[in-house]
Structures are given as C-alpha cells and as structure tokens.
Structure 1
C-alpha cells in the first residue's frame, strides 16, 4: 500500500469521525430542541389550562353569589314579619341551589343550617360582614358545623330595608376538591385556590400532602431552579395579583407552576405541571432518535474499524466502502431537512444537506445570496420581513450570547404551486467564537415541525372554542332568566290589576267573585311558571316532561284569554276568537304546558302587533289518526310586523330574535318559541308558521290529547226551539248556529244590531217568536247592548237576551242588566258553556257551581282518621283546618320517622289514610313510605325491631308535596305511595282523593 493510499484511508477515517461528531452534535441539537419545545409547549398548555379554569371559577363564584342573593331576595318577598325569618322558610328555596348546605344567622349570631344543626356564628367573617349589609365570599378552614375547609357565599336578609339576618351558602372541602380536580395526560395534578398572601383556600387533591400545603409560596424551589424569578418576585406577584410561572418542589414531587389572579376577584389560582409528565414526554420524543443515532454511531464505528483492518485492500474496494459510509451519513441526516454551516465573518455558507432546495440555490456561496433566496420564499410580507431581520449576522450574534447555547427560528412557508402550508424550525448552534465570545460561525439545522405546530394550533383553537362555549352557556342562562322574568310578569300584572278592581267593588259580591276567579286562574299560571323555573335544567336540555290530568278545553282557553285580555286592551287591539267542529271538550293531558304554548304564541302576537291591529285565535277539532285521542288545531293570527323568510326558518332556534328596528325595543330573549316547539313535539303534535314582512304572522299548532267521558245532558227540552244570533262576523254566526243545531235548536243569524232588532220585530208580527236571542257585544253601528235595549221594548221580559263577547264584560255589566240583558257568554262559544247557560235560562232549576268552601261543607268523612305528615308548622295548620272541615279526625307527625313510629304504635286499622310530605328532616317522605311498606313484612327501622304488620301493606299513602313534576310522581309511586297531590292543595282534588281511598 502506498503512502498516498494510507493518507487517503486515514483521511477517510478522519472524515467518518468528523461525520460522527456532526451527527452527534446534530442529535444533541435535536435533543435540546425537543426538550425546549416540549417545555415551552407544556408551559403554554399550563397557562392556557389555568386561564380557562380561572374564568370558569370566576363565573362559578359569580353564579354562586347571584344564587345566594336570589335566595335572599325570593325569601324576602315572602316575609310578612321580620320575626318569621327562619331556615324553615328557606329550605324549599335552598333545594334549588348547588350549595352543599345553606345557613341562616339571626341578628344575635344564632345560626342554623338546612339540616337542622345550630351554632353561633357571631365571630365568623361572613356573619360580621353580612350584618353590616355586605355581600361577598370568604373561606375558612374550620367551618361552623363541620370543622372543615369551606368556601362561603353570604348576603344580608332584609325586611323593610333593615338587615334582620344573614343567609349563606357553602361548598365543603370535598366539593371544592372535585370542582378543582385537574388531569394532565392522564396524571392528576394539583390546583390551589389562594388568597393574595398565598394562603390556600381550597385544593384539588385529596392526597395527604395537599392538606399540608398551607401557603402556595412555600412550594417555591430555588436551588437548581430554571425559573428566572426569585422568592421575593413570587411574593410580589401574589401581592400585586400578577401572573407568573416558577419551579416548585414539594411532597408531591417537582415541576412547573403557574399562578394568576381570578378575573373580578382578589383570589389567586395556582396550578402545577409535574416534571414527571414532561420527562415522560421528552423521553418518548427522544427515544426514537436516540435508538436511530445509536445504531448509526455503531455502524460508523464498525465502518471505521473495518477500514483500519482492511487498509491493505485494493483502492477500488476502499472507494466502495467510502461510498457506503457516505450513504449511512446521509441516512442519519434524515432527522433534519437541511444542514448548513454559516461563516458570519467570511459571509459564506455551505449546505451539508439541502432537501427541498433543488437547483434554486447552490450548495455553497455567499451568505448574502443565502439570505436573499430565503426572503423570496415567503409569500406573506410580514413573515418575510421578520425572517429578513432574524437572518442578519447582527441578529444572530446579538442573540447567540455566551449564555445562550442555541437559537431557534420558527417560520411558515407556503408552496406557490399547491398552496400547502408547512412549518419549519431552524436551530443555530455556535461553532466558533472569538476571544470576546462573539459567534463567528454557526451550524444551522432545519426540522419540519408542521405536525407539532398543527397540534399546537388545534389545541389553541380548542381552548378558544371552549371559551366561546362557556360564554354562550353563561349568556344562555342570563337570557333564560330574562325570558322567565317577562313570562312571570304577565300573570302577575293580571293578578295586581284584578286585585285593584276587586278592591274598588267590595260592595259588589258578584264582581269580587269574578275577580277572585280570574286571580285564581292567573295564580295557577304563575305557579306553573315558577315550577318551570325550578325545572330549569330540564328546559335547557330539552328534557321536558308532561303530566296527565283531566281538564276541560274551555277552561284552558278562558284562562288564556283572562291572562292576555289586559295586554290586548292596553294596546287597543281587536281580539277575534272562533271555534269550529269541537266534538270533545273533556280531555286528558298537561293543561299547564298547553297554556304555556298558547301564552308564548299569543304573547308574541300582542307584542309585535301595533295599536289598532287584530289578534285572532281559531280552534278546530280535526279527524284523529290515534284511537282514543282527539286532534286539535289552534291557529293564532295577527296583523303585526311579520317576519322575513330567512328569520322564519330559524324562529324556533333558542335565543333568536329578528334584527328589525321595529322590534328591537320589544322585551324578550327569543327563548319562548324554542320551548313551544319542545312542548308541541312531546304532545305528538306539529307547529307551523307562515309570515310575511309587514303583513302579519300565523302560527298553526296541532296536538293530540286523550279523550275522556264528558257530562251527559238531557237536551230534549231544546228540541225545535228558535234562537236568533247577531254578530258582525259571518263566520262567527255560522259557527254559533252549527253549535245550536247540534243541541237540537233551530237558529237564525243576522250581521248587525239593526238587523237583529228588525228580525225580532218580524218574528213577533208573524207569531214565530224566538225563545232566546244571542247578541255580540261589539258590533259596528248598533252595539249589542243598544240592540238589547230596543229588543226588550218589543218582546216580553221573560225572553232571555244573552250577550256574547271575547272581552271582559264586567265594566258594562250594570248597564247591560239595566236594559234587560239576562246572561253573558264568553267567546269562544263552547258547547258545554252554551248548554249550561241555556239550561239556566230556559229550565226551572239548574244547579249552580258550588264554591270550594261549600265543597268541603258538603263532604262528610266522619268516622275516618288520617295521619298528616308535615314538617312545616304553617302548612300543617292550614291542612289540619281544611281536613277538619270534612269531618275527618286528623293526627299530625312532624317528620317521616315520627309518622312511621305513630303507625307502628297504633292498632291495625286505627288510621285509614296517610298524607305524606316529601322534603322533611330526619326522614323524608320517600324513605318513610318505603319503611311503612317494609313494616308490613316485619322489617323495622335500624333501631326498631317489630313484628310483621300486614295491614300496612294496604294502607293508602298519598303524597302531599311541592315536588310537582312528572318524575316526582313516578318516584313517589316507586316508594310505595298510592296517589300524588301537589301543593298548594286543590280542594276539588282533595275531596276526589278522599272519596277514592276512603
């Protein structure tokens, strides 16, 4: 072997060794880059997660503060005396909140919670501040009743503007741990809610070490920390409410922590990111590269050894082996897209690998050419300017200081041919520095990080989507409450107005009775709305339930008109109501939900119809495709502002309102129609809408309801009797005549008051007198009352004259009676109402409906004994009085356990029936009912052993409770109860229930 060959072989070995060094250096850059990228990514993830949680916790605290204020406000409205304030009155309202427990503190500090525990809170922060009239939130690690960590929201309770106590709602430590629980990549981490001095208020972990962290600042790890802040900086950040990242170390391990102030609150939120997660992620990311480079290094070592051992071989074989080594080196460089050595002092560059450049740029040349080439590759001008500045020798030398081992440059490229976007990360490592530490040359490696960047962007977008969804949920809740506020005011206005009318006519019993009847109707509607608010979660999720009860369609329609008529009159609108082909008026369904649909639709018609417009309702029974059910069509029309075609398509979407200047000042959130559609769908019905902008809107609702047997009447006395109908609407006349013919009468109709007078005069002259005359109240020309006055001068005093009206006729009742009007019928004209009025006028005696008091007086259940289980003393006193009026002997138990004990102590057959409240202390109604049924088989309470009582298996148990929803009824049945009555107690239903079971 010649000297030249030996030098060549030695040179090749040196090249291989240098290549190995380059690969190892590149791999070191790769490892460093991955570690730094993962650390930076995790820091961003930690900050984003903490910020999202901070917004969520802030909203939760605001919602909780609102809940306790709403609880106080609702209870204040029900107080009639300051002395009546107690936890008992708040319990029912407190059931609707999310608090673990609710307390009431009197002025002297005596405090009781909703489970009956008592204590003195005079030295508690929330009591002191609440008595001073403040509302807020505080934390304690020694709660009054449980001695644990609790977060307490408090507000004063006032009566006539004076503070009479403090209401507080609290979350206990377990709830806070669950609420703050956080997991990163399947591993639980710690979240701490702290005050501004670092004191831990609540934490997310139930592990022992979490309880030992009293101050978040104690976790600060100074020795060996990579944080660029000191302990003093951390304390200042807590004091100022600033956001800061620092390294921590504690019993749970070490890692990175991020702390920030809660929006709108002085409290701080700190979350940790364990280093174990970062280590696992880094190890996983580096493992593949480490294995590959190790293999490459071993291969290079083997090749070098091979060259040394085989140095005597022929030149041709050495060349072949050299090419083989070059291929291996190129393979190792596959970890990166490009490698280049840049000499900043000589203004040169040389590519060791140049994937993606093709022939556009030489492998080596002047660095100015290198920079110019890459500046032209950016289609985005802002990106081009940024990279132009970063690639200058001055920028590189300024940022690659002695303390900075590498420099990362991340940039985005767009393929001009395909438009595809890719992300690259260029890393520069100093190769040579001068005596002053200034970089002279660098090794630049370029890695494609498109997948990582896309994941980062996706995570960022996901966080933004979550934030927007949280905002939407918050807005949905606010809009829903605004909508329900509007709906509640509708019947409340009716109640207030009718109460004022009744006060003005105290000397007119009939007028007062009519007002009280309408007040009862509006009150029941208001009660339904309150139930709806309490069932808010079901409404928001669309999980509505329907009850099934007997009701009469005429009563539901009259209730609707009683509620809406004051609003219609206020806006000076004309109301038209018409019925057609109603064969079945007695049905089974959910009248409250049906009325909710009607009020929402007609309420919108009234709101969006200008003064002088027309609002109409048409009711028709259609042929039913469901056996045993009736199909009813309700058509609501108005001459209001109408809707555009685009808005009609989304009118049933939640929170949707038309963007129209004519309706922007109209109250409402757009939630009502969404609820309407949900209810109609549950009734196996349909709802359609037709509207034209500027001309009006028509809603058509079709629902199916089960039929029930109605009252049977002897109509033989009506056969062949002649009746005259006068109404200015021909369709109304035809509908009334059809109804009269269905009961056997022979009707005629005219279209004005003048024609009615002439028809009566002609009938008298021809000796074909009418037996009754029905006149519409409001007709153009001669009104119904004016026509009645003239007709009374023609006919005898015993001829019945009836006024038909869709309006509140009480204002003209005296005038109408004075001119000879005998009766009034409200529109729409239902068959049952017509028969009742006609029988009262044409037959000798007709039973008048009795009052609730008379119903009780006529009911005699003497000889029966019932057990009333009720924990509320006022409710119990009312129930005892009402039940006593029926002749019943009534015993009272103040809770479910006491009721069970009284039944076990009594002889078999001593009690004939049990009325059972549900929400009670000690033992609730469900538990008590289950215990009574279990006692029939000899299964006693935990501390009571009894003999079997078979009589208790058949003892009727009736739920008497404010839990009035369909699932509450089902739950009471499952517990062993026989029937269900909701509060407030309805007299007719009470008597019906007693008759059924006694």
Structure 2
C-alpha cells in the first residue's frame, strides 16, 4: 500500500506540475492576445473619439458661420450710411457674439476691430473673398491685430444691395487650444485642425504641439501601419479620406487618426500616445502575472486538499451539476418551442413543443415542417419572406462562422381563436462540416406579442408626438417670419408720414392729416406686435379670429393710407372702385382682413414696375349664409406676372418665383401662405390668375356677419341732381349707382371740359345741379382746373367736391382757393357720400369730433386721481392728457409710493387710482393688493394699521402694456376694477372716467 500511495502521490505531483505549465503557457498566450485586444480597442476608441469631435467641430463652425451672417444682417438693418461705421458700432456689434474679437473691413482694406484698432487687410484672404460676396472661414498664423494664430469667420456686408465691406469674427489661439483640448483616460492628447495639404491651422496646448507645422511631419513607419507610406498619407489628406497612421513626436510615439469635417474643407487629427496603450497593457499583464502566481500557490494548496477531500469534492461537483441543470430547464420556460434541425439530412426534431397541434409530429422531414408553418403566417408577403428564409440554402448561406445566430420576427394566426400573435425565432449553429458550412441548427421560438404591441404603441405615440411638435414648430416659424413682412409695411408708412409732417410743420391741416394716418398705421402695427407676443397662439398653431364691429370703409381707407406712400414712391397708378356695396357695417376681424389686403397689395406694388397700375375692386355678392354678407375683393396689377407652374405653388410656404426680375425683391416667401390660412379661417376662398409679363389678379371672397347700421333720413337728398366727372367710365357709373341708391338723380361725363359744358348748359336751361363731383386727375383738364371754371358759372353756395384715390393734401390749399368745398376718397362708399352730401346740402350732419375735442368736451373738474407710473415720459403724457379733462392728477413713481400717498391722504381725497403693472419696488398687482388690505387694517409690510374702509371701495384701474386676457383676469383677481391697455386711447379713457367718477 505504501508503494502504491507513493506512486499515486508522484502521479498527482506530475499532474499538478503539468497543470502549472499549462497555466504559465496560457498566461503568455493571454498576454499576447490581451495586448493585441487593447491595441485594437484603443484604435477604435481613437477613431470614435475623433468622429465625435469632428461632428462637434463641424457644428461649431456652422453655428459660428450662422452667427456672423446674422450679425451682418443685424448690422445692415441699422445702417443708414456707410460713413456710420465706427469703432463704437463695432464694439456694440461684438457684444452680441462669442468671438474673441470682431472686425469690419471697408473698401480699400481699412479694418477696424472692436477695441478701436485700425489696420489694412487688403492682402488678407477673408477680405478678398468677402468683398467678392463670399462667406466662409479661414485660418491665419499671423492675425492682423495680434500677430497670432486665429480662426476667422467672415461674410460680406451689404448696403443698398452692394458689398461695402466684410464682417469677421475670430477665435484666437488660446480659445482654439481650449476648444480642441482632449483627455483620454485622464491624459491630455494632441488635437490638430488641418488644411487639406496637412498644414496645421489650430492645435491643442501641449508641450510639443506648437512645433508641428504639418501633420506629415509626425509620420513614422511603425509596425501597425508599415503598409502606409508618407505619400499615401499625403494623398489621403488631399482626397479628404480618413486614415490612421503611426507617429513619433518629442513626447513619444503612438497612433494618429485623421478625419475630414463633413461640411468644410478641413480635417481633424487626434493622437493616441503609445504611453497610454503601454500603461494599459502593463497593468493587464501585471494582473495576469499576479493571477498566475496566485493560481500556482492555489495549486500547491489544492494538491494537499484534493488528496484529503476527493470524495467531498466529487459530491460537490455532482450537486453543482444538478443546480446548473435546474437553471437550464428553468430558462427553457422562457421559450415556447425548441427544435433541432438537421440540414444535411433534411429532418427536424422538437425538444419542446408547447402550442403545437397533432397535425405536426414531434419529428419528421424538414420540408413538411416548413410547409406547416408557412400556412399559418398572417399575410402573403410575410409567408413569401419566411418561405425563403427557412430554406436550408438560405440558412447555410447566412449562418456563417462570423454570424452567431439568425433572427426572425413574424406573426401567426391561431387556428382556433383567430388571434394574431407575434413570435420571435432564433437559429443557432450546432454543427458544421469541414468547409465550415452549418449542417445542424437549434431553433428556439418565443412569444413576444406583449412586447411587440407595447413597442408598436410606443412607436405610434412617438410618431404622433413628432408630428405634433413638427406642426407646432412650423406654425411658430411661419408666424414669426411673416411678422417681419407685416411689420415693415406700417412702419414704412409711419416713417414716411413723419418725414412729410416735419416738412409741413407750418401747415396744421397737413400735419393733422399725417398724424391721423400715423395713428392708423400705429394701431395696425400695435395689433401685429400683440400677435407676436401671444405665444400661446404660436405654440398651438391656431391663429384664431376675433369678432368685433367695424366699418368696411374704414378698413379700406386704412389699407390705402398704409399703401399709398409705397405706391407714390414707385410712381404707380392706383385704381379703386366699388360695386353694389349694400352693407358697410360688419362683424369680423379687421386686423386679420387688413393683413390679407396688405400682403396681396404689397406684392402687387413690389412686383409692378414704375408707371404700372395697381387696382382694387370691391363688390358685394349675393350671400347664401343667413345673417352674413359675401364680399369679393379683386386685386389686379400690371406687374411681371407668374408662370403657370409657379401659380400652382404660390400659396406654399417659403415659395418664391425663380425669376431674375424678382429675386432681389425683399420677402420671406411666407406672405401668400399666411394669406391663404387667414382666408380659410374666415371660411373664404382665394383665387389667383397670372401670366408672365401681363400681371396678376388675386380674388378674395369672404363672408362676414352683418350688423345694423345707423338708420339715416335720406329724404333731404331725394331728387337732387348731381353731376359726376371721371375719365374712367366704370368709376363714373359706380359713383352714379351709389348716388341713385341714396335717392339722388346723378349723371356723368368723362372729362373736365365736358363737365364745364354740362354745367353751363344746365344753368342756361335753369335746371342746374345741386352739387358737382370732379375726379382730381383727369387727362386734359384736371378736376381743379374744371372747378375753377365751374365756380365762375355757378354761385358760391353750390358744393364742388373733388374725388380722388390719392393723398390730396398737397393740392388742398390750391383747391380751396378755386372754390372746392370738400374732398371724398375713393372708393366711393355710401356712408361717406351720405355724410359729405348731408354736411354740404343740409344742416343735420355734424363733423366728426377729434380726440382733442373729445377731451375738451369732457369736464371732470373737482375730481382728483392718482397716477402710478414709473416711466417719466409715459407719466408726462398721461398727466397732460388727463389734465385736459379738468382732472387734478397726482403722480406716484412706483406702487409703494402710491400706497403710502393713499394712506397719508384723508379718506375721499382721491376719487380713482390709475395703476401701472411693471414697476420697481412694488409692482401694480402688489400695490392693488396692499390697497385692498389696508381696508382691513393691514399695512404694506404686514404691520397693523388703522383700518381704511374707503380704500376697499376706491376704483383702481390698471393702465398697462400687459394687454392679454390672463393679464386682465389677474388684475381683477387682486382687486382692480377695470383694465386699460397702453397706448392710452382717448375714447376709452373718457368712457372709463365717466363710468367710475
């Protein structure tokens, strides 16, 4: 027994030593494979890191390019003359950017930066390209003002359509170093921004990166890239191809990866020092060596342990085997079916077959297996796909040694219940032949119906959310962009009318007319601004319509007031006529209706050449909607017209004609899309007819609710003879139709000479006219010339009226001098005509009261109000206006001051409080709440005071620019009695005072 034991012991020692040798050999194999794996892993990490940085830098350059273009656009919009460009304006410009410094280069190369430095950039690339109309980015290692490396983004500066300079934004070397700095595993690496020839444009800050002028200088024929020559490297730079190569620098060697920026002719190179790789490999190898040592020690301990515990170990292994088997069988519960498919012998055998009918045996020929399942697929397309993918040829071809498994998803219909279930099948290779082709596979099938249904539901929800977000974003973008077009039109009118008023300061009537038109345009502009601020409408995409009473003549007159300055600037002819307008008083959204008109007529003015004609015809059509009128507005011009193809897309957003005659015309291409949307909201229609070179006609038809107008007594006008003179027969006939509608007996002639002759003949026959209406601009003898001759024939009390579609203020003084009594604007609406005729022929009609007269006629003497306003200019205006009504007004500069003044005053001292909202110290809401709290004996700081019951009932009126519905509700919630929006409207002020005083 002793000899046998010794022999067994020696045998075990030999086995242990052999095992130790195997472990050591495995360690060296592991070390080699691990080193190779780490190298490959780091190469992929370098490539992925470079690709991410490339996308980031590409986006940064695109954002910087967009920023400099936006900066140029902002600067152009404020530039009235090239001489305004100065270092102060550059400093202001630079404050809006993230660039290190900003410059503007003018013709000749004179360049100013935002610190006031000046130099000449005539020889600089960005100046030459920018003056040529190009935008872009370039690098220099000798910047103009600082002599260092800079990345410069440039774009041309335009003035009146010409390039007058170049705006540049630059990042200096320090900024680029910070931007390019990268750490890999807590060790800083080198990053270079390269030109296509490999030259370094910018770099991160490391010890040796400053010395590298060209990426090819780093090239080193190392072992990992020995098949890459330096010529191949330089060719890759030129062709913009990504490439990895070995490098050697002052701080060591490593791998470098170069990749081109997607949208720019630049490349990014990033290095991966070999020290990182070496360190990782050394740590892994050290861990492996430690493991081998531990294993060796463990083997020595286990040798003795195994001799004593052999039986116990065997029992333990059996127990573990049983446990693993239990885990395997438990895992099988996740799958419905397992089958082994022998592709070589065309057979199958089920290892687990839940849910299979007796129609399919547990084993058999594979083609029968395929046929059985093909008949259960839900649709023909799916059956055809699976029929191909289940063939042995398909499985052998696609389940290669590089493919771990094949994956299928399909739907089956339950033959008994008709329910459709989703299944997920996987094929794993079990055996392969000598050529590596799979000969046997394991098929596992799992029911994934619940998972798939949740996935489909989530996908549909995401699609719905995406569409909703896209629609909301599109609505916001369309609306905001359209505002630039809509705001510009009334603003131009305001600026033009202001200039006219300044030239006629000695002519009160002319200034009054300009101020009236400025007020009209300002109100239109205020309405547009309110829409811009109403973010709820933009987010929802619902630009709803308001319903308010308005008069159609006022809306048309407002349109003409806005558009006339532009029409006159282009020396266009304006023709306006109406036909059969029976209802002038309507209910609708006048601001939206005017937005439609301004867009259409604005386009007519823009695209009609000098000397052309712009026309507007308004007609009331028979209405099929009870309580509503149908109105047709026809806008025509003799402009450049549109092609048939473009007419089909004219209402699509951002669409503009590709025509050299219009490409320089300002616009976003959103106007017509907005017009169609508004017309659709009004349940109307819009139609366009156009022909290249012959002009365009837009026809807008809308329905608007009718409201009762003031019943007027027209008896004094019945049977009175009136003569109309207009060179356009349609306009003369239209005027006569309106005169007949109010009971008068009109006749018309087509020239000034005919008008004089008709008046002379009527006087000789003793059947003269009671009034003469003359068109201002007629060929031959104008309306004013005809009026001069007619006044010599008739008496001074016969009214002579000038009819015009133009601004007659320039000739009003001359017209009055020759005997003209009144002016009427085209188109000739019934209400306006009745007003003028009754004013001239009877004593019933009173002239409309101006806002000034409304104030003077309002007497609130004996009342004292407290005005709370922090803006000194707004306060001064309000004090003057309120003072005209006889009010005694005290002023508080903020809410806290107002509360203190009310508490210090005797009860009843103030009759009303006007309260601004946005104020320092204490805003209007807080002040109103404090006033009401004082009635209960609570001070503004929460302290106890003597109750002031009068402050619980004193009227508090919000006077603020916060004019939306929720602002009104909030004012009411804190105890305010009424709400007035800024700017202050005289009529609303007087109405409010009458209501609360």
The answer to whether the 8 A contact 2:559-2:598 is kept is yes
Q: How do 1:527-542 and structure 2 match up within 5 A?
A: 527-538=526-537, 541=540
The answer to whether the 8 A contact 1:772-1:799 is kept is yes
How has the CA–CA distance of structure 1 residues 865 and 345 changed in structure 2, closer, same or farther, with 3 Å as cutoff? same
1:980 match: 979
The answer to whether the 8 A contact 1:589-1:706 is kept is no
The answer to whether the 8 A contact 2:802-2:824 is kept is yes
Of stretches 467-476 and 454-463 in structure 1, the one that deviates more from structure 2 is 454-463
State whether structure 2 residue 566 is matched by structure 1 residue 564. no
1:614 match: 615
Deviation at 1:614, TM superposition (A): 3.2
The answer to whether the 8 A contact 2:575-2:615 is kept is yes
After TM superposition, the score normalised by the length of structure 1 is 0.55
State whether structure 2 residue 401 is matched by structure 1 residue 398. yes
1:794-824 deviations in Å (ceiling 9; x for gaps): 4355543211122223455466456554432
Secondary structure of residue in 2 paired with 1:963: coil
Deviation at 1:960, TM superposition (A): 0.9
The answer to whether the 8 A contact 1:620-1:634 is kept is yes
Secondary structure of residue in 1 paired with 2:877: helix
Secondary structure of residue in 1 paired with 2:616: strand
The answer to whether the 8 A contact 1:483-1:672 is kept is yes
More contact order relative to length (CA 8 Å, sep ≥ 6)? 1
CA distance in 2, matches of 1:947, 1:675: 59
Deviation at 1:598, TM superposition (A): 4.6
The answer to whether the 8 A contact 2:338-2:443 is kept is yes
The answer to whether the 8 A contact 1:340-1:444 is kept is yes
CA distance in 2, matches of 1:646, 1:128: 46
- Residue correspondences, number: 691
Q: How do 1:436-515 and structure 2 match up within 5 A?
A: 442-447=441-446, 449=448, 452-453=451-452, 456=455, 459-460=458-459, 462-463=461-462, 466-467=465-466, 469-515=468-514
The answer to whether the 8 A contact 2:600-2:635 is kept is no
Deviation at 1:893, TM superposition (A): 2.6
2:635 match: 638
2:772 match: 773
How has the CA–CA distance of structure 1 residues 922 and 398 changed in structure 2, closer, same or farther, with 3 Å as cutoff? same
1:407-432 deviations in Å (ceiling 9; x for gaps): 353366999xxxx9997644345767
2:157 match: none
How has the CA–CA distance of structure 1 residues 826 and 459 changed in structure 2, closer, same or farther, with 3 Å as cutoff? same
How has the CA–CA distance of structure 1 residues 451 and 479 changed in structure 2, closer, same or farther, with 3 Å as cutoff? same
2:808 match: 809
CA distance in 2, matches of 1:613, 1:935: 63
CA distance in 1, matches of 2:578, 2:805: 10
2:910 match: 911
Alignment match of 1:409 (pick from 401, 407, 410):
407
How has the CA–CA distance of structure 1 residues 783 and 661 changed in structure 2, closer, same or farther, with 3 Å as cutoff? farther
C-alpha root-mean-square deviation of aligned residues, in Å?
6.3
Secondary structure of residue in 1 paired with 2:684: strand
CA distance in 1, matches of 2:717, 2:369: 108
1:883 match: 882
How has the CA–CA distance of structure 1 residues 678 and 849 changed in structure 2, closer, same or farther, with 3 Å as cutoff? same
How has the CA–CA distance of structure 1 residues 398 and 424 changed in structure 2, closer, same or farther, with 3 Å as cutoff? farther
Secondary structure of residue in 2 paired with 1:868: strand
Deviation at 1:756, TM superposition (A): 2.4
State whether structure 2 residue 684 is matched by structure 1 residue 687. yes
2:759 match: 760
Over alpha carbons, which structure has the higher Rg? 2
How has the CA–CA distance of structure 1 residues 390 and 556 changed in structure 2, closer, same or farther, with 3 Å as cutoff? same
Secondary structure of residue in 2 paired with 1:698: strand
CA distance in 1, matches of 2:522, 2:184: 52
Deviation at 1:529, TM superposition (A): 0.7
CA distance in 2, matches of 1:550, 1:671: 27
The answer to whether the 8 A contact 1:935-1:946 is kept is yes
1:392-414 deviations in Å (ceiling 9; x for gaps): 669757258xxx7xx35336699
Deviation at 1:521, TM superposition (A): 1.3
Secondary structure of residue in 1 paired with 2:703: strand
Q: How do 1:279-678 and structure 2 match up within 5 A?
A: 339-342=338-341, 350=349, 398-399=401-402, 407-410=405-408, 425-428=424-427, 442-447=441-446, 449=448, 452-453=451-452, 456=455, 459-460=458-459, 462-463=461-462, 466-467=465-466, 469-538=468-537, 541=540, 553-568=552-567, 570=570, 572=572, 574-578=574-578, 580=580, 591-593=590-592, 595-596=594-595, 598-600=597-599, 603=602, 611-612=612-613, 614-618=615-619, 632-639=629-636, 667-673=669-675, 676-677=678-679
Deviation at 1:866, TM superposition (A): 0.9
CA distance in 2, matches of 1:622, 1:465: 40
After TM superposition, the score normalised by the length of structure 2 is 0.55
CA distance in 2, matches of 1:966, 1:705: 26
The answer to whether the 8 A contact 2:685-2:701 is kept is yes
1:286 match: none
CA distance in 1, matches of 2:622, 2:861: 45
The answer to whether the 8 A contact 1:521-1:559 is kept is yes
CA distance in 2, matches of 1:926, 1:597: 38
* Unaligned ranges ≥5, structure 1: 1-50, 79-105, 110-124, 135-160, 162-194, 200-262, 265-331, 681-685
The answer to whether the 8 A contact 1:677-1:687 is kept is yes
Secondary structure of residue in 1 paired with 2:442: strand
Deviation at 1:726, TM superposition (A): 2.5
CA distance in 2, matches of 1:475, 1:589: 26
Secondary structure of residue in 1 paired with 2:984: coil
Deviation at 1:567, TM superposition (A): 4.5
The answer to whether the 8 A contact 1:546-1:966 is kept is no
1:700 match: 701
How has the CA–CA distance of structure 1 residues 604 and 679 changed in structure 2, closer, same or farther, with 3 Å as cutoff? farther
How has the CA–CA distance of structure 1 residues 597 and 614 changed in structure 2, closer, same or farther, with 3 Å as cutoff? closer
CA distance in 2, matches of 1:859, 1:623: 45
1:281 match: none
CA distance in 1, matches of 2:488, 2:897: 41
Secondary structure of residue in 2 paired with 1:398: coil
The answer to whether the 8 A contact 1:577-1:616 is kept is yes
Secondary structure of residue in 1 paired with 2:339: strand
The answer to whether the 8 A contact 2:655-2:670 is kept is no
1:96 match: none
Deviation at 1:832, TM superposition (A): 5.2
The answer to whether the 8 A contact 1:412-1:421 is kept is no
Q: How do 1:707-726 and structure 2 match up within 5 A?
A: 707=708, 721-726=720-725
Secondary structure of residue in 1 paired with 2:517: helix
CA distance in 2, matches of 1:382, 1:766: 101
Q: How do 1:846-925 and structure 2 match up within 5 A?
A: 852=851, 856=855, 860-925=859-924
Secondary structure of residue in 1 paired with 2:478: helix
How has the CA–CA distance of structure 1 residues 763 and 451 changed in structure 2, closer, same or farther, with 3 Å as cutoff? same
CA distance in 2, matches of 1:775, 1:709: 28
Secondary structure of residue in 2 paired with 1:768: coil
Deviation at 1:488, TM superposition (A): 0.7
1:907-951 deviations in Å (ceiling 9; x for gaps): 111001111112334544344434434544556656133454443
Q: How do 1:235-314 and structure 2 match up within 5 A?
A: none
How has the CA–CA distance of structure 1 residues 760 and 333 changed in structure 2, closer, same or farther, with 3 Å as cutoff? same
Q: How do 1:803-842 and structure 2 match up within 5 A?
A: 803-813=802-812, 816=815, 820-830=819-829, 833-834=832-833, 837-838=836-837
Deviation at 1:879, TM superposition (A): 2.3
How has the CA–CA distance of structure 1 residues 624 and 452 changed in structure 2, closer, same or farther, with 3 Å as cutoff? closer
How has the CA–CA distance of structure 1 residues 471 and 340 changed in structure 2, closer, same or farther, with 3 Å as cutoff? same
CA distance in 1, matches of 2:447, 2:341: 20
The answer to whether the 8 A contact 2:728-2:750 is kept is yes
Secondary structure of residue in 1 paired with 2:702: strand
The answer to whether the 8 A contact 1:545-1:965 is kept is no
1:962 match: 961
Q: How do 1:740-755 and structure 2 match up within 5 A?
A: 740=739, 746-755=745-754
The answer to whether the 8 A contact 1:602-1:636 is kept is no
CA distance in 1, matches of 2:618, 2:512: 27
The answer to whether the 8 A contact 1:657-1:670 is kept is no
2:326 match: none
